[in-house]
């Protein structure tokens, strides 16, 4: 009997028998403070699975369960988990661990961590246990690599996004895909179809490049603006030096693949980014292929946690629907599906396998009665589930506490109540984080540094920290007795006091030196708030944000300004 917890899954025993799956039990690593235990609902089939079990990517640690496009339910969370709620629907992708301490991890490049571990086929150094993938009953993963799935995305559509989706999304956003850009997607399989969907959602002109015209109708149905078939004579002639970015999702290049013909499509300093990893494929290119346009060749590996959350939000907001085919999970169906994928006999994108295990977890030791849970940073009222934004903020605060030495002690006791995004005009948004009133002073001690760090993580958005205050209504006499005295309410809970406090919180640490109400011609009122001139250089670019956030929160119009030189009006 094993001394470790065990799960059940479908394993392949060797590359020689890679199409034969056996339902076995296997050891899993001990449950850690930051771990999340997930009961798997479904798992996508990725080309990586086939490359791995067939020996295309070299020797592997068999017996092995593959599958790393996982969606399921978080049935258990460690005492220090802050990013995931127990009972929530979550996803796991191709990576399940990184050190979170190196330069790469601290710069939202966790997938390039020198110590990163894959969801299957990696070895835990302290136990020698091999990580096993998603063709299983359950998976156990560090919280940083577990992602909350928005309610708007069905599990069957979310699963392939955990690998194919993020692999296509990350190089698009990192290389500027958007309005005014022309993007080419090479290949229209699982990766390629996500490339088209996300490129269009980001606003780029999107073309599919494929060997033949067989997938042209699918490409147009996905929203592609154009289609190029490389089997056509002079296929690239009319598009030379017109593409800003080409993402190659090709699973194999085949004989006669002419990389130079693709690179010729790129504009000056355009980029070719490869995300497909064919077996034993070598590319030959002449130096002359670079000289005409100074193009750049690179690659991309998965995507960061931040990018994963952004991708899921984009998908939910825009109603993006991935193209999937579903198959019940069984040894026979797994065998058939991986062979179909090996032969490129998959319609549109990767199959999705629904897990339907009848075998429960065997002898998992429940330590929750013995180890106190650390309360989640997002202290949600009414026990509601945190939003995607709130989950992201909780993760960002945890990252800063863990990885920023001079903030660690200050952030450890701090929590927030809720957060929301507010439109502030010109297509921009601000993030407002509401914190308990007793915690506000603690936030103030590190607020300038903290907001700078958060604004790095949430780019193009100002971050504001406000106390969560409740306005109490004016007390009334009891309906039962006219002689009952009016109930007292604190002055701090009146509408005027709360609105004044919001003003103070918005501009902190800048001091308010004057206020005046102006009545406009239409009889509406405008509150003018004058700020300390000494702080002009630090906040003048944020004044419009302050005004719009105040209007959205209170319904009142305010104008922030600094004293006019030599003026004695205030």
pLDDT in tens, 221-230: 899 999 999 9
Residue 190 lies in a domain: yes
Do 131 and 272 share a structural domain?
no
pLDDT of residue 370: 21
Residue 504 falls within a domain, yes or no?
no
Taking residue 354's Cβ as centre, other Cβ atoms within 10 Å add up to: 16
Q: Is the pLDDT of residue 567 over 60?
A: no
Residue 514 lies in a domain: no
Half-sphere exposure in the Cβ direction for 25 (13 Å, CA) = 12
Q: Domain check: are 59 and 10 in the same one?
A: yes
In 3D, which of 95, 97, 88 has the Cα closest to residue 32? Answer: 97
Task: Calculate mean pLDDT across residues 541-563.
Answer: 91
Helix (H) or strand (E) holding 552: helix 543-554
Same domain, 181 and 148: no
pLDDT of residue 394: 82
Same domain, 202 and 143: no
Query: pLDDT-derived band of residue 487, with 50, 70 and 90 as boundaries?
Result: low
- Check residues 326 and 244 and name the one with the higher pLDDT: 244
Q: What distance in Å separates the CA atoms of residue 234 and residue 258, rounded to the nearest whole number?
A: 13
Domain span holding position 273: 164-299
CATH number of the domain bearing residue 76: 3.90.180.10
Query: How much is the average pLDDT of 270-295?
Result: 81
Residue 480's CB: how many other CB atoms inside 10 A? Answer: 7
In this prediction, residues 444-467 reach a mean pLDDT of 91
Same domain, 151 and 224: no
pTM above 0.85, yes or no: no
157 and 168: one domain?
no
State how far the Cα of 350 lies from the Cα of 46, in Å rounded to an integer. 6
Q: Let me know if residue 189 belongs to a domain.
A: yes
The CA distance from 334 to 17, in Å, is 13
Q: Based on the fold, state whether residues 156 and 170 are members of the same structural domain.
A: no
Model confidence at 36: pLDDT above 80: yes
Q: Are residues 127 and 212 in the same domain?
A: no
Whether 494 is in a domain gets the answer no
**The total number of structural domains that make up the chain:** 2
- Are residues 270 and 189 both part of a single domain? yes
Beta strands in 83-150 (DSSP E): 89-92, 95-97, 117-118, 138-142, 146-148
Summarize pLDDT for 437-449 with one digit per residue, the tens.
888 999 999 999 9
Whole-Å CA distances, 366 to 5, 37, 63, 72, 138: 11, 11, 27, 19, 15
Chain centroid offset of residue 23 CA? 33
pLDDT at 569: 42
**Ordered DSSP codes for 412-471:** TT--BSEEEEEEEETTEEEEEEEE-GGGHHHHHHHHHHHHHHHHHHSTTEEEEEEE---P
Nearest CA to 276 among 355, 167, 119, 421? 167
359 lies in a domain? no
Q: How many of the other CB atoms lie within 10 Å of CB of 488? A: 7
pLDDT of the residue at 254: 64
Q: Per-residue pLDDT averaged across 147-170, rounded?
A: 94
Residue-wise pLDDT for 356-367, tens only, equals: 333 222 211 222
Mean pLDDT value of segment 298-323: 94
What's the confidence (pLDDT) of residue 363? 18
User: What percent of the chain is predicted at pLDDT more than 70?
Assistant: 86
Looking at the fold, whether 139 and 213 belong to one and the same domain comes out as: no
Mean pLDDT on 80-105: 95
Q: Is residue 348 predicted with pLDDT exceeding 90? A: no
When pLDDT is averaged across residues 243-268 and rounded to a whole number, the result is 87
Compute the distance between CA of residue 559 and CA of residue 543 in angstroms, rounded to an integer.
8
Taking residues 543-560, what's their average pLDDT? 92
Confidence of residue 289 (pLDDT cuts 50, 70, 90): confident
Split at pLDDT 50, 70, 90, the class of 373 is very low
CATH number of the domain enclosing 188: 3.40.50.720
Are 182 and 279 in a shared domain? Answer: yes
Mean pLDDT for the chain overall: 85
Please say if the pLDDT value at position 315 is more than 50.
yes
The count of other CB atoms within 10 Å of the CB of residue 489 is: 13
377 vs 442: CA distance, rounded Å:
14
The structure tokens listed for 542 are 């944020």
Instruction: Please give the Cα distance from 184 to 206 (Å, whole number).
Output: 6
78 plus 170 within the same structural domain: no
């Amino acid at each position: 009997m094993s001394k470790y917890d065990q799960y059940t899954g479908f394993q392949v025993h060797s590359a020689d028998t890679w199409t034969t799956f056996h339902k076995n039990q296997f050891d899993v690593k001990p449950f850690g403070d930051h771990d999340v235990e997930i009961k798997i609902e479904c798992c996508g089939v990725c080309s990586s699975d086939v490359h791995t079990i067939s020996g295309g990517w070299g020797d592997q640690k068999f017996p092995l369960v593959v599958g790393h496009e996982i969606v399921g339910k978080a049935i258990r969370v460690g005492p220090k988990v802050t990013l995931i709620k127990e009972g929530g629907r979550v996803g796991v992708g191709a990576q399940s661990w990184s050190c979170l301490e190196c330069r790469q991890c601290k710069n939202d490049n966790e997938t390039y961590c020198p110590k990163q571990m894959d969801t299957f086929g990696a070895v835990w150094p302290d136990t020698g246990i091999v990580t096993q993938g998603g063709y299983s009953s359950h998976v156990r993963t560090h919280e940083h690599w577990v992602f909350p799935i928005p309610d708007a995305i069905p599990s069957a559509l979310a699963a392939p996004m955990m690998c194919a989706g993020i692999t296509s999304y990350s190089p698009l956003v990192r290389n500027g895909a958007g309005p005014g850009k022309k993007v080419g997607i090479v290949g229209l399989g699982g990766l390629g179809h996500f490339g088209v969907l996300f490129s269009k959602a980001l606003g780029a002109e999107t073309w599919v490049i494929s060997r033949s015209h067989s997938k042209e109708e699918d490409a147009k149905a996905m929203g592609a603006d154009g289609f190029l078939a490389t089997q056509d004579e002079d296929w690239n002639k009319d598009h030379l030096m017109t593409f800003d970015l080409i993402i190659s999702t090709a699973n194999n290049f085949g004989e006669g693949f002419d990389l130079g013909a693709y690179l010729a499509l790129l504009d000056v300093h355009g980029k070719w980014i490869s995300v497909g990893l064919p077996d034993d494929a070598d590319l030959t290119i002449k130096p002359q292929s670079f000289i005409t346009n100074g193009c750049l060749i690179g690659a991309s590996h998965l995507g960061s946690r931040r990018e994963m959350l952004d991708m899921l939000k984009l998908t939910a907001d825009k109603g993006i629907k991935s193209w999937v085919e579903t198959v019940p999970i069984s040894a026979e169906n797994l065998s058939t599906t991986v062979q179909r994928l090996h032969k490129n006999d998959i319609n549109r994108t990767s199959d999705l396998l629904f897990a339907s295990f009848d075998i429960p977890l065997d002898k998992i030791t429940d330590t929750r009665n013995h180890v106190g849970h650390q309360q989640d940073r997002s202290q949600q009222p009414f026990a509601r589930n945190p939003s995607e934004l709130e989950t992201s903020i909780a993760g960002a605060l945890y990252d800063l506490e863990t990885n920023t030495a001079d903030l660690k002690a200050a952030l450890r006791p701090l929590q927030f109540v809720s957060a929301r995004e507010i439109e502030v005009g010109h297509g921009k948004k601000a993030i407002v984080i509401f914190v308990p009133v007793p915690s506000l002073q603690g936030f103030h001690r590190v607020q300038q540094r903290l907001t700078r760090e958060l604004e790095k993580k949430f780019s193009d958005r100002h971050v504001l920290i406000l106390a969560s205050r409740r306005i109490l209504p004016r007390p009334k006499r009891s309906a039962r007795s006219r002689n009952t005295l009016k109930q007292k309410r604190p002055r701090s809970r009146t509408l005027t006091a709360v609105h004044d406090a919001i003003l103070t919180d918005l501009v902190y640490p800048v001091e308010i030196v004057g206020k005046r109400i102006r009545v406009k011609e239409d009889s509406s009122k405008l509150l003018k708030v004058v700020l300390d001139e000494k702080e002009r250089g630090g906040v003048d670019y944020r004044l419009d944000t302050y005004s719009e956030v105040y209007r959205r929160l209170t319904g009142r119009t305010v104008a922030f300004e600094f004293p006019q030189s030599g003026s004695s009006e205030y």
